[in-house]
Amino acid sequence: YRTMVAVAPTYPELWQKLENLNAQYSKATDAINQNSKSLKDFEALVNANSRDMDTAWVVICGALVFFMQAGFAMLEAGIVHPKNVTNILFKNMIDASIAALAFWLLGYGFAYGSDSGGFIGKCGSDCYFGLKDIYNGAGDGKGTSDGWEMWFFQWAFAGAAGPIVGGG
């Protein structure tokens, strides 16, 4: 049997390998530091625009919920005789319009106004009936969590209740 004896590297070869490892370590450290800076910049950008991103998300979700009404309209239109499709579509349009008016005038105020003994909202420090004080949250006209976007989102759910009941 033959045995293979490994030849030990010389001192200059070891020194060269060490310098190569050190260079690779420096490159990796620089890349990590640069990525860390980029992540911090991105985090600052997200924090600066978080209100706008939240608003966009709520409006998109509200629009998706609102499209449920179109789905219910198609369901009802498919159930009735073709001559009555126009009436069904008009009924659903009126349902959405009346729901918007009622939710604007009373619904949002009852749901999100100052509570009256823990039951329903009333006019107090914030009066949302007719969306009167909807942007009082931050005092800068931009409210913190309430606003037109939340009204739209909640109205979409409240408005979807009419076609659900009417479609049966």
For residue 151, give its domain range: 56-166
Neighbours of 108 (CB within 10 A): 23
So what's the pLDDT on residue 105? Answer: 83
Asked whether the CA dihedral 93, 95, 100, 102 is positive or negative, the reply is: positive
In single-letter form, the type of residue at position 3 comes to T
Residues 35, 60 within the same domain: no
List pLDDT tens digits, range 102-116.
888 888 777 777 666
So what's the pLDDT on residue 93? Answer: 92
Q: Answer yes or no: are the C-beta atoms of 61 and 153 closer than 8 Å.
A: yes
Residues 31, 111 within the same domain: no
Q: Answer yes or no: are the C-beta atoms of 89 and 74 closer than 8 Å.
A: no
So what's the pLDDT on residue 86? Answer: 94
List pLDDT tens digits, range 42-55.
888 888 788 778 88
- 38, burial (CB in 10 Å: exposed 0-12, middle 13-18, buried 19+): exposed
So what's the pLDDT on residue 66? Answer: 92
Which residues contact residue 152 at a Cβ distance below 8 angstroms, ignoring those fewer than 6 apart? 58, 59, 62
**Looking at the domain assignment, is residue 42 inside a domain?**
yes
Q: What is the share, in percent, of the chain residues with pLDDT greater than 90?
A: 16
Domain count, the chain: 2
Task: With a cut of 80, say whether residue 65 has pLDDT above it.
Answer: yes
Alpha-carbon distance of 63 to 105, in angstroms, equals 21
Residues 63, 19 within the same domain: no
Indicate the Cα dihedral angle 120, 121, 122, 125, nearest 10°. Answer: 140
State the pTM of this model. 0.62
Residues 39, 84 within the same domain: no
